[in-house]
Structure 1
Amino acid sequence: MLRVSVDASVAHNARVWDYWLGGQDNYLVDRQVGDHIRGVYPEIVQVARADRRFLGRAVRHLAGKAGIRQFLDIGTGLPAVENTHQVAQSQAPDARVVYVDNDPLVLAHARALLVGTQEGVTDYIDADVHDPEPILRAASKTLNFEQPVAIMLLGILNFVLDTEEAVAVVTRLVDAVPSGSYLVLTHPTTELGGAANEEAMRFWNENAVPPITARSGAEIRRLLSGVELLEPGLVSCSEWRAEEEGPPRVAQFGAVGRKP
């Protein structure tokens, strides 16, 4: 059995996010911080769930109509409903999915639960988004970087606090994949969330790890500069090709772009 060392005295993003999604893989401190933030900014639960539903819609499109068979999901988080490999392999059983995260609890669960189809492959890399080179080296053992790859960066670049560094990370990842590849991104923004969202983020940075930053639409467009956005462009992730009419707008931008 894999043994991991987890600090249960400080709230951690992966576990608080799991709590907001209705999961069980969290501790008292995560629930306390999660409840306080929800009290300040009740819409945070909608943000978490909208981000997860966006993932499902984006991956179904890519593995289905777009014909993508390789996915590099950086910032996996704890397993929840409709993980990337489950969605992709439901559309294309031979899809290959590599997850990346550096949280020890995520690592423990990923190895136990992220099991793919017989036809496809699901793998996990213990690495940090701040350093893309080890990610690319390890992922190349499972993915063929001469064929299109969908790079998934959902709710992860907000932990790269310096925008220039975040741009450099995305540029390196997109440079590593060929034409016809895709970039899938979500990112929190105070442009849509207002003062309560800003207060929630301040509380987070004082009481939980890792620290987080919001970005404006203009800053997020810089992260997407190497791809051509699919319709409807950069929008609240709840509104990106929503399956219901008039979904509530959440303070999380989402976009899918194709590398020309």
Structure 2
Amino acid sequence: MKHITIITSTVTLLLLLPVLAGAEGLPTITVGIGQTADPGQTSTALQILMVLTVLSMAPAILLMTTAFIRLVVVLSFVRQAMGTQQMPPNQIIIGLALFLTFFIMAPVFTQVNEKALQPYLDKKISQEQALNEAVTPMREFMFKQTKEKELGLLMEIAGQPAPENQKDVPTMTLIPAFMLSELKRAFQIGFMVYIPFLVIDMIVASVLMSMGMMMLPPVIISLPFKLLLFVLVDGWNLVVSSLVQSFL
């Protein structure tokens, strides 16, 4: 009876919410399309819509122009090479990659803060100048990690002439070239990570076949040995230190 009373009270409260809202004058939000005689209102609404759209895409844009790509791909390769399925979980892999990204990008973010954000907040420079000052350190970082082959490929696809210096390369061309270079390096590192674990799998499979235990999956036997090897060589420190040093 007690549970029935609680359920009945909850349902009654939900049904009375509209009445209570009207009685107490709770605030409401209305979104609609109407006519206006002032074109400035339409322009302001479109600007707000564009700003909200850019803000929603800002995290993805920020991650794709930093060290996050290489870090998360390599860490995922490490997990797959060990064969631990979902260990560590995706949340831990992404979280570790994210904090390592902040660690690696700290000098760049410091330059952005000192040259763009703080002067803009102090009203010493305009918004356009702040954006230009913020993009410059990011472009320098991406140029250091971008290979000429990928950059030339994107410039050729876009039909742009060969640049004489870095200033002639558009940012919209630099970003995809940087992402391609990061993916290439990440897969190269992932291949090197796979080799020792692949050797263990081959040895275990050969031993099982020689013993006539062909019905036993080699992965079950090789997994403890791969984990033991990874722990003995301090694998996480090796992987993280190699990744961080690859950006220097």
Place the TM-score, normalised by the shorter chain, in its bin: under 0.3
Higher helix residue share? 2
Larger gyration radius, structure 1 or structure 2: 2
TM-score (normalizing by structure 2): 0.25
